[in-house]
């Protein structure tokens, strides 16, 4: 920290700089920084509020910039699913910062402004430009490296058209990102654009032959389109299972068996998916398959393992659990 302070002093000439100077007329001039305009006051008592303002301004300015950036992201891209209290707190604090800064700026209008004591050197201008460029590059890197933050909220809330629109934008700037194509395929499928979903899966597989989701997703979309299991579908699911530890292949194959009324095969795949991932959501699918089979007691047992929280927001879970319990004869 000491080395940083020395470095900043050398750049901005803080060493030996007088922030408060007394004029020949008996007034005082306060310079907030070496290159900032000064404020002329008649006494030190008038100077105290100005000093307090500049100390508070540094804190409020940083907080204000961060808060406005967060609010911009929230309202423009809806990244975070925040509750009303937290959102209200941010907005209230932001407005308070604006009001405090505005009040002090209004208060300082009655004081005479004095020209800066020092001229901004070329070196300082270059350094300030570098800082601005660094912030811009950091923001662009954030946008480029984390596109899922911009559309993930829409996918979770099943806002498929909004998700599709956002992903389309990122595909233009990252045309070789296979994850974008796989997520766009999901959005298109839920918008009944099955051919478009299959096409996006093909593009993702072309970019990354081991993209397990796209391999399995294409298999499921082909089944939905053709209403039957083909050798191509079997091959795609086998490749998906081999390509990734996460059992998306087992899950999609289980769904296919379920739609064909093959309950036992569906249950085996959902159980395998749960064993591979530890994700209780697959037990929910297994419970539905048990109901299809007519074994409501086992279905009830599976339903009891599925949590109901922010991660698992299944509105029909309580009703299905009660129905399975009612139908269970044991």
Strand-strand pairing, 38-41 and 28-30: antiparallel
* Structural domains for the chain: 18-117 (no CATH), 149-327 (1.25.40.10)
Q: What is the reported pLDDT for 77? A: 47
H helix intervals, the chain: 2-12, 44-77, 84-108, 122-145, 148-156, 160-173, 178-190, 194-207, 212-226, 231-243, 248-259, 263-277, 281-293, 296-303, 317-327
Does the pTM surpass 0.75? The reply is no
Residue 15 has a pLDDT of 57
Three-state helix/strand/coil letters over 89-110:
HHHHHHHHHHHHHHHHHHHHCC
Taking only the tens of pLDDT, the chain with its 330 residues reads 566 566 656 555 555 566 777 787 888 887 777 777 777 888 777 777 777 777 666 666 666 666 666 666 555 544 444 445 555 666 666 677 667 767 766 776 766 777 776 676 677 678 778 877 877 777 777 667 677 777 877 888 888 998 898 899 888 888 888 899 999 999 999 999 999 999 999 999 999 998 889 999 999 999 999 888 899 999 999 998 888 767 888 999 999 999 999 999 999 999 998 888 888 888 889 989 989 988 988 988 888 888 766 555 677 788 888 888 888 865
Task: Give the pLDDT score at 80.
Answer: 47
d(CA 187, CA 164): 6
The pLDDT of residue 277:
83
Q: Rounded distance, CA 114 to CA 112, Å?
A: 7
Question: Going by DSSP bridges, is the β-strand pair 20-22/28-30 parallel, antiparallel, or unpaired?
Answer: antiparallel
């Amino acid at each position: 920290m000491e080395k940083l302070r020395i470095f900043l002093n050398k750049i901005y000439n803080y060493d030996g700089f007088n922030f408060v100077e007394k004029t020949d007329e008996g007034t005082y001039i306060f310079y907030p920084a070496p290159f900032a305009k000064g404020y002329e006051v008649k006494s030190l008592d008038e100077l105290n509020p100005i000093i307090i303002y500049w100390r508070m301004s540094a804190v409020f300015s940083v907080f204000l910039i961060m808060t406005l950036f967060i609010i911009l992201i929230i309202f423009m891209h809806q990244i975070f699913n925040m509750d009303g209290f937290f959102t209200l707190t941010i907005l209230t604090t932001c407005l308070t910062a604006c009001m405090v800064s505005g009040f002090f700026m209004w208060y300082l209008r009655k004081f005479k402004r004095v020209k800066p004591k020092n001229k901004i050197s070329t070196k300082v201008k270059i350094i300030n430009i570098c800082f601005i460029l660094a912030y811009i590059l950091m923001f662009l890197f954030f946008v480029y490296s984390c596109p899922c933050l911009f559309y993930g909220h829409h996918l979770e809330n099943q806002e498929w058209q909004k998700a599709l629109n956002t992903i389309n934008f990122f595909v233009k700037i990252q045309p070789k990102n296979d994850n974008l194509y796989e997520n766009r395929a999901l959005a298109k499928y839920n918008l009944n654009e099955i051919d478009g979903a299959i096409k996006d899966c093909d593009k993702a597989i072309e970019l990354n032959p081991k993209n397990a989701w796209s391999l399995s997703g294409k298999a499921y979309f082909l089944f939905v389109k053709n209403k039957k299991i083909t050798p191509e579908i079997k091959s795609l699911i086998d490749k998906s299972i081999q390509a990734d530890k996460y059992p998306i292949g087992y899950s999609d194959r289980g769904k296919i068996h379920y739609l064909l009324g093959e309950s036992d095969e569906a249950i085996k795949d959902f159980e395998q998916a749960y064993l591979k991932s530890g994700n209780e959501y697959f037990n929910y699918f297994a419970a539905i398959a048990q109901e299809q089979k007519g074994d409501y007691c086992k279905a009830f047992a599976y339903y009891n393992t599925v949590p109901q929280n922010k991660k698992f927001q299944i509105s029909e879970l309580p009703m299905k659990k009660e129905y399975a319990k009612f139908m269970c004869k044991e």
